[in-house]
Structure 1
């Protein structure tokens, strides 16, 4: 059984491990290996701590824990960033990562469901997210969770390789 709780500063190392392992697993064959190989848990943990300490931060970070309390997943959501939204009351799912060996065991769905519940309770009407076009596993996951591409596309560059991201969205119960 998975527990879901708010992330604390003491979770930074574990979240960084989940994120780096998640990137290396999910984006293998999509993002250049050189980019993935440069990622380190130590640098990412520092970035997590810095982000969590930002004054006035509007994002919500949630972690999934196993029965022993170990962090096995992480998600973060908040107000829509610079990409725009269908309306002023939309949230953005900034990130969702699960320990690679637990993908398909309900951890990601539990995190996503809790993010939807909390965003809806906070008054958000819907949620957007961006997913790499070539990340077919993630796209299937979001399709099953009620998301659909809305036609918006942006791109990111990793070591001179340009990759398309598709915007997905879904409405939330309030």
Structure 2
């Protein structure tokens, strides 16, 4: 019998697991083209204990974890209102499917004409290919639909082919390009988008 994976809202008990998954997934996804020390510094900034606890507190309805019977937290995902230029709490740069992320920006759902944004969707590399990212994305999309959103945008680093294909496979084609500051560098970014 295979261990079960439960998708559920994150709690404060999940903070260390989220941090562990983030560190492993970032290095697996970006380690080929970003300096390890720069990645670690970025992770320390985005995934410090206080910051993750704050995200759990304010985004409990859409910060979800994949809880594996044997391994604990093996993935997490979150989404919500699209951050505006004046939002200063956007923590991460690119939401990368089984292996990428973006910041958890709180906000109300007052402007539902604006698409929601997938802030994070990361899975520990030991569990890539097990459809954990698929399940996380589906559950976050369900939560966003329940909040009244109709469309989803997903910023992804352009070099993250695995994540980009993941989103295309889930019905979110590439719709825009740009750049983002990430781990001390300016990198190309693409946006995938589509209806929830």
TM-score (norm 2): 0.76
1:34, CA displacement in angstroms? 2.4
Give the match for residue 166 of structure 1: 190
> Are residues 116 and 60 of structure 1, via their aligned partners in 2, closer, same or farther at CA, if it must alter by over 3 Å?
same
Give the match for residue 54 of structure 2: 50
CA distance in 2, matches of 1:44, 1:158: 15
The SS at the match of 1:60 is coil
Give the match for residue 120 of structure 2: 95
5+ residue gaps, structure 1, are none
CA distance in 1, matches of 2:67, 2:166: 20
CA distance in 1, matches of 2:178, 2:61: 23
Paired positions, count: 165
Deviations 1:27-53 (A, max 9, x none): 112222221243459x63332013334
> Are residues 59 and 169 of structure 1, via their aligned partners in 2, closer, same or farther at CA, if it must alter by over 3 Å?
farther
Mapping of residues 65-104 of structure 1, within 5 Å: 65-68=67-70, 70-82=72-84, 88-104=113-129
2:35 corresponds to which of 23, 32, 35? 32
5+ residue gaps, structure 2, are 86-111
Give the match for residue 149 of structure 1: 174
Contact 2:10/2:60 (CA < 8 Å) preserved in 1?
no
> Are residues 20 and 151 of structure 1, via their aligned partners in 2, closer, same or farther at CA, if it must alter by over 3 Å?
same
Q: Point out the more displaced range, 161-170 or 71-80.
A: 161-170
Give the match for residue 16 of structure 1: 19
Kindly report the root-mean-square deviation, in angstroms, between the aligned alpha carbons of the 2 structures: 2.2
1:157, CA displacement in angstroms? 4.1
Contact 2:61/2:143 (CA < 8 Å) preserved in 1?
no
Contact 2:62/2:144 (CA < 8 Å) preserved in 1?
no
TM-score (norm 1): 0.85
Contact 1:151/1:166 (CA < 8 Å) preserved in 2?
yes
